[in-house]
Amino acid sequence: MNEANPQFVDQAITVEKYTQQLARFQSARDYYRRLGVLLLEDSFPNLYFGFAATLLTPVPIIFAVKINFDNYDIAPLSVQFVHPVTFEPIRCSQLPNLLLRKLENSPVPQNLLVADRDDRPFFCIPGIREYHEHPFHTGDSWFLYRDNGNEGSLCFILDNLQLYGTSNIKSYQFQINLAAQNNAVGIFSDPNTFPL
């Protein structure tokens, strides 16, 4: 339970919702594995997932998230970006990918990875707790989405994180600066293939 968001939903209901959502993921686990979505740890009320770029060799884990079920589904699921080994929260500057979405009739993609002054990234789409709690989205209530089919479910979040986070990563990018003797390895996403 989070001190900032105390548990107000009956714990038995939260456990039941957690179990249902995890079972849906488990029934499609092979599908998600092929997409590079890996369940790293199951520790109620949190699930930890790693997202790998499966088109690269070797296959890197690009980012990891902690998905928290406190008060679900009166409150939406929380998605926090974490280190894939230690599960410690990370800063936006530590992520190699900005989760970009191509907008129709716009040459500039939309950045779905947003951070406030604390540099803690959050995935800025409806159906995620951090989105609905952000001051810019006060008029966009979770209850407008809660019963809208699959939106805000565990698999909805995983699908969108994979789509915008790793689906279009197709190559490594190397930078070598012999004069300064500092080198960098990164990933490359082709802007022409950003998902809509």
pLDDT digits (tens, 9 = 90+) for 9-51: 889 999 999 999 999 999 999 999 999 999 999 999 999 999 9
**In which band, very low, low, confident or very high, does the pLDDT at 63 lie, cut at 50, 70 and 90?**
very high
**pLDDT value at residue 62:** 95
CA distance 28 to 33: 9
**In which band, very low, low, confident or very high, does the pLDDT at 90 lie, cut at 50, 70 and 90?**
very high
CA distance 67 to 47: 5
- Mean residue pLDDT across the chain: 88
> Per-residue pLDDT tens for 128-153?
999 888 877 777 888 777 777 788 89
**pLDDT value at residue 139:** 78
pTM assigned to the model: 0.87
At residue 62, what is the residue type?
A: I
**pLDDT value at residue 2:** 52
**pLDDT value at residue 12:** 92
Higher pLDDT, 50 or 4: 50
How large a percentage of the chain has pLDDT more than 90? 52
Whether residue 60 is preceded by a cis peptide bond, meaning omega within 30 degrees of 0, is no
CA distance 26 to 20: 10
Poorest-confidence range of 48-52, 80-84, 124-128?
Answer: 124-128
How large a percentage of the chain has pLDDT more than 70? 89
Tell me if 63 sits within 8 A of 73, measured CB to CB.
Answer: no
At residue 49, what is the residue type?
A: F
Tell me if 44 sits within 8 A of 15, measured CB to CB.
Answer: yes
Q: With a cut of 70, say whether residue 163 has pLDDT above it.
A: yes
**pLDDT value at residue 3:** 57
Look up tokens 């209530």; give the residue. Answer: 141
